[in-house]
Structures are given as C-alpha cells and as structure tokens.
Chain A
Amino acid sequence: MTILLNGDTTTLDARELTVRGVLAAKGWSFPLIIVQVNGTVIPRDSWDTAPVRDGDRMDALHLVSGG
C-alpha cells in the first residue's frame, strides 16, 4: 500500500497495517508520539487496532520535554 506519511509518499509491503504496524515498519520507537490518520488523532491505546489503508495520510509527531 502507498500512504502519505509525514507528508512523504511511502510504499509499505502490506495491503493494510495497524498504526503500530506502520510505526514498526519505519522503525520508529520514540517513547512519545502523537499519531493522526486522515487528520484524526489515534489514541495510544488504539494503535494495535486502528487500521491504516492505501491512500491514507498518517502523521507521527514526536514529543520531547521542554516548556
């Protein structure tokens, strides 16, 4: 499937993945990430079930401390 991941066209070797599957495929293991799929926030406790499909837009935004 091909998705728009953080603004970049990205092809992944699967027909469909979960949010956690996309993060794993990219090797992103930052402790704190906000994930949005098609502009809707996906809470952390839904990452194992929320699907990401061909044509979707997924953004992963990395949070670090400091304010």
Chain B
Amino acid sequence: MNARIREQARSLLSARRVGLAGAGGLGSNCAAALARAGVGHLVLADFDRVSPDNLDRQFFFLEQVGRLKVDALAENLRRIDAGLDLTTLPERLDAQRAVAAFADCDVVVEALDDADAKAMLIEALLADRPGRPVVAASGIAGWGASGKLAVRKSGSLVVIGDENLGVDGSHPPMAPRVGAVACLQANEVLEILLGPMEEAGA
C-alpha cells in the first residue's frame, strides 16, 4: 500500500472522536477495529460488567471477568495504542444523557443490546443533531447467512445487519456474525470520516 495514503488516513483519523453506545459484542469489537485503524478519540459507554458468557464473542479476557466493561475495554485498547484518548462512561444512558455524552463525537456507533434501547438512542441522537452520522446494528444473531447482512443508509443513519434475526433461544449471538457486523460498523465509520475510497482502476 502507498505509505503516504496510509499515513494521511491515520493522521486524519487521529483527530476524530467516535462515540460507542454499548461495549458488548458489537461495541468492544468495533472499538478494537477503530483503534487499530487509528481513530484517536473514543467515548465508551456501558453500565455492564464482563461475565464468563461474554467471552464467546466480546473483546475481553478471562482475568477481566467481573470488571466494568468500559474499564476492561479501555485497558485492552491501550494495549493496541497506548496514546489513545478514551472517555469511559460506566452508566446506562437515557436519551438525555446519550445526547450529552456524545455531544463532541463526529460519529456515534449504536451498539446496544435491547431493541427498545436502540430505538430510543437512534431517535434521540438524530433528533438532537440531524446530519450527524449514527451507525446502528439490527439483526446479528445466529450463524451463517452472511449474504443477508446488509448496509442500509437513510439520511445520516446507517443500519447494518439482516434486520430480521433478533437474539433469542433459537438464535444465540455468536462471535463470527456479531464480529462481522461490528467490523462493518467500523468500516462505515471510516468511510464517513475519510470519504469514499477511490476504486481500483478509477
């Protein structure tokens, strides 16, 4: 790869701030991808603690069980990039708090679990700042059906997933599909921040 383009991209990303609502299967893996890509500032919000069941798909490790997810994630992200600027919010965000918590963010990633909470967050963020991009996920459960994972754009909202399979007894969340959507969310964030990529041969 052209080293100059790589450095230009990393330089641009280092000045950007991305908010992540939720640090579970989507949020932890999306944050790791963004940190590796060079995004310089991340705001991490999650009230939950790491449980043994989370290790089947979330970016945490055995010795971190019991710790606040935002603290454990911050530690893991700093092992990727010691210079990352991280803001950790160990709380359950209501609409008003979410708007305030992510006020300085260029993009917000919706990485919550519950569908009602997703709807609340998305509506609140879009109503507060129309035009500020929100990258959400819907339909990440189970395995296979890779081709059903779609990226749908509407105004400044992006929704990634199959918009069909919610997590339930027949459709557990599993590492590959959850991780795929988390990385697609990070990929959309990069396109928003860097602009569309020039295609080969163009």
Contact = CB atoms under 8 A, between A and B. Distances in A.
A62 B178 CA distance: 17
Interface stretch (B35-43, B76-84, B163-171): B163-171
- Category for how many chain A residues contact B: 10 to 19
B72 interface: no
Contacts, number: 97
Contact of B163 (A31, A36, A64, A67): A64
A61 to B, nearest CB: 5
Contact of A32 (B24, B115, B152, B178): B115
A14 to B, nearest CB: 22
Interface in B128-174: 130, 136-141, 152, 154-157, 159, 161, 163-167, 173
Contacts of A62: 138-139, 163-164
A64 B27 contact: no
A34 B123 contact: yes
* Chain A contact residues: helix, strand, loop or mixed: loop
Bin the interface of chain B by size: 35 or more
A29 interface: no
A65 B165 CA distance: 8
B127 A65 contact: no
Contacts of B161: 64, 66
A43 interface: yes
Interface stretch (B4-12, B106-114, B194-202): B106-114
B113 A67 contact: yes
A55 B13 CA distance: 38
A43 to B, nearest CB: 5
